[in-house]
């Protein structure tokens, strides 16, 4: 039988950001997850939960799109600096940051703040996502920054993502794993092949099983000075998580997603967690928001027995 889950001080932070992608509505993702009963569910698990509210984008209708190869990048960077400050406050208060998104470009600020809070030391990262998010301005087919945050965190385009609010790189290649990937652009494939990243694609998960792939990821994470888990809900098959902006068929299933969260919890790997890309406009009766709550609870100790 597993040992009882330790109680944790959890800071819930809504990141109401939708500038990094092309479909409106993802800024309401934090509300959809909260509506699913997140805080009382975590409190029922014994955690001390403080909801810090949302970090919002001011005056979104009047913001300059900027260059087409990185739309709204200036505003996203400015937003990320505010989010980074929140991460620093959480770490200083010995709280587990739980960030609710919002689009995945928010990870620039989250990871930047965590790296700064941990003494500018590059950390470890588990990136659960259907996509690589390894584009940089100039390689992105869309110019949407939610396809660039992992590249930013790894320091691949410092001229674009440099800020006094964080160090670069934020995380290291050898301590970073992408899991559930099934949609990559040509430039991302080339980059991965020449890197130390471990990428568990869906075909690899099909061949070897999620448990084996995640065990390999956990071994890599265990060498890192700190660990962040980023859960993009489009890693799950869209039949289960329909409320995402960039769905890709053939994702991990309901039971696999819960197994991943449980294994990370049991390994003591989760120093911080973000759950992103829930879009209630595209959802069906808040199914994706409710799934997010269930997966967060599994990550923080919920068990059947």
Binding-site positions for Mn(2+): 104, 129, 131, 133, 232, 234
Closest among 267, 269, 257 to 298, alpha carbons compared:
257
Which residues, 6+ apart, have CB-to-CB distance to 268 below 8 Å? none
How far apart are alpha carbons 75 and 60 in whole angstroms? Answer: 9
Sign of torsion over alpha carbons 285, 286, 287, 290: negative
Catalytic residue IDs: 104, 129, 131, 133, 146, 232, 234, 277
Which residues, 6+ apart, have CB-to-CB distance to 58 below 8 Å? none
Which residues, 6+ apart, have CB-to-CB distance to 164 below 8 Å? none
CA atoms within 13 A on the CB side of 103: 25
Closest among 42, 97, 138 to 230, alpha carbons compared:
97
**3-state SS assignment for residue 138:** coil
Cross-strand pairs, 274: 99, 230
B/e letters for 216-255, b = 16+ CB within 10 Å, e = fewer, are: bbbebbeebebbbbbbbbbbbbbeebbbbbbbbeebbeee
Which residues line the annotated binding site? 104, 129, 131, 133, 232, 234
């Amino acid at each position: 039988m597993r040992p009882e889950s330790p109680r944790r001080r959890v800071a819930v932070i809504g990141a109401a950001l939708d500038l990094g992608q092309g479909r409106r509505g993802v800024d309401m993702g934090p509300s959809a997850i909260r509506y699913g009963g997140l805080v009382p569910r975590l409190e029922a698990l014994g955690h001390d939960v403080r909801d810090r509210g949302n970090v919002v984008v001011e005056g979104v209708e009047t913001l300059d799109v900027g260059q087409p190869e990185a739309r709204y990048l200036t505003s996203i960077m400015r937003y990320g600096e505010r989010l980074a400050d929140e991460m620093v406050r959480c770490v200083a208060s010995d709280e587990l940051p739980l960030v609710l998104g919002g689009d995945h470009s928010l990870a620039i600020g989250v990871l930047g703040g965590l790296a700064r809070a941990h003494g500018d030391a590059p950390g470890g990262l588990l990136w659960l996502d259907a996509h690589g998010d390894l584009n940089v301005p100039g390689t992105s087919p869309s110019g949407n920054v939610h396809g660039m945050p992992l590249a930013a965190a790894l320091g691949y385009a410092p001229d674009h993502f440099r800020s006094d609010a964080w160090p670069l790189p934020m995380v290291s290649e050898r301590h970073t794993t992408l899991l559930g990937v099934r949609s990559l652009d040509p430039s991302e494939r080339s980059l991965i092949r020449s890197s130390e990243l471990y990428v568990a694609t869906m075909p690899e998960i099909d061949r070897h099983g999620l448990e084996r792939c995640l065990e390999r990821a956990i071994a890599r994470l265990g060498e890192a000075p700190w660990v962040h888990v980023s859960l993009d809900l489009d890693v799950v098959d869209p039949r289960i998580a329909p409320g995402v902006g960039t769905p890709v068929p053939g994702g991990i299933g309901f039971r696999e997603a819960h197994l991943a969260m449980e294994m990370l919890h049991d390994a003591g790997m989760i120093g911080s967690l973000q759950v992103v890309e829930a879009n209630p406009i595209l959802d069906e009766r808040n199914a994706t928001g409710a799934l997010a709550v269930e997966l967060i609870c599994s990550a923080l100790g919920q068990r059947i027995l």
